[in-house]
A and B are shown apart, each in its own frame.
Chain A
Amino acid sequence: DTGVSQDPRHKITKRGQNVTFRCDPISEHNRLYWYRQTLGQGPEFLTYFQNEAQLEKSRLLSDRFSAERPKGSFSTLEIQRTEQGDSAMYLCASSLGGHFYEQYFGPGTRLTVT
């Protein structure tokens, strides 16, 4: 399967713990996006990378969230000191290039903070 993959698919954690998610984009895609989706809502943009450079972050992204894409391939999203409000589906998407290009989404990581 050469699509976007995410790991883990599910994560249950206690409030206050740190969690890290991984995304492996389609290999030739240079753009990578992170989104958060809660029930009944559309995906909410968090951040995006062009190769290894993080070029934009949502103003809604608190300083507890950090993302990296060290070699321009896979990416990680870390949430520190998780809160119950962080419970959501975290989606990763990749695309070949600019805004005209289709984004291919991974299956997501479902986070539950207890």
Chain B
Amino acid sequence: RKEVEQDPGPFNVPEGATVAFNCTYSNSASQSFFWYRQDCRKEPKLLMSVYSSGNEDGRFTAQLNRASQYISLLIRDSKLSDSATYLCVVTSSTGNQFYFGTGTSLTVIP
């Protein structure tokens, strides 16, 4: 079983829409959780860390459910510039290995 599973999409949404991505992980002892964003032919960049209490950064909200072993990302009021691949990242129990999901492709349409 893969360490991290993500729906690859693609998600095509109109500007202004709200879109949610989910990701499940297999190791209940995983230490840390993140969402990274990767634009076409570019390197991944951190979007936000995911904390147990949930956290929000502007239009982006991340949630962690340790009991069900999933994390989520909610994007409100989608902008054209949000079009990218969103990568769910989970660490090993030591916190030293980082496991990336396959990524979810988002296209925001005018």
Residues of A within 8 A of B98 (CB): 33, 45, 99, 103
> At the interface, is chain B mostly helix, strand, loop or mixed?
loop
Give the bracket for the number of chain A residues in contact with chain B.
20 to 34
A67 an interface residue at 8 Å Cβ cutoff?
Answer: no
Whether the Cβ atoms of B100 and A42 lie closer than 8 Å is yes
> At the interface, is chain A mostly helix, strand, loop or mixed?
loop
A85 an interface residue at 8 Å Cβ cutoff?
Answer: no
Q: Which residue of B46, B87, B96, B103 contacts A102 across the interface (Cβ within 8 Å)?
A: B46
Q: How many residues of B contact A (CB 8 A)?
A: 23
Answer whether A107 and B31 are a contact pair too, CB < 8 Å, given A41-B102, A48-B96, A98-B95.
no
| B contact residues vs A (CB 8 Å cutoff) | 4, 6, 8, 31-32, 42-46, 49, 87, 91, 94-103
| Interface pairs (8), CB distance under 8 Å | A40-B102, A43-B100, A44-B100, A45-B99, A48-B96, A58-B97, A91-B44, A103-B98
